[in-house]
Amino acid sequence: MAEFLVYVAAILTGLAFLLALYRFFKGPSAADRVVAYDVLTIVAITGIVFTALAEGRGIYLDVALVYALLSFLGVIVVARYLERGL
């Protein structure tokens, strides 16, 4: 039962990733793409957690933590660049 629910949640997360990817490719302006990138990273962190659950290996959570740190910095840097240049 719990395993089935994990798979259902993983499929829903994959659909969320695809929808955000659509906005990432289509987005009219660069800012739209950065927002879509932000959402993509958050969904990817959740995907890494699902991978850790499916494999049963807790070490993958460290990957999720580092990815959260670096992707946040990436979004901030691109936003500052769009605002007034580096």
Binding stretches for another protein (CB under 8 A): 1-6, 8-10, 12-13, 15-17, 19-20, 22-23, 29, 31-32, 34-36, 38-39, 42-43, 45-46, 49-50, 52-53, 56, 58, 61-62, 64-65, 68-69, 72, 75-76, 79-80, 82-84
Considering the complex, what minimum distance in angstroms separates the CB of residue 25 from another protein? 11
Considering the complex, what minimum distance in angstroms separates the CB of residue 18 from another protein? 8
Report the alpha-carbon distance of residue 46 to residue 64 in Å, rounded.
Answer: 8
Own/partner pairs for 64-71, CB < 8 Å, 24+ apart? 67/41, 68/41, 71/38, 71/41, 71/44, 71/45
Report the alpha-carbon distance of residue 75 to residue 34 in Å, rounded.
Answer: 7
Considering the complex, what minimum distance in angstroms separates the CB of residue 10 from another protein? 7
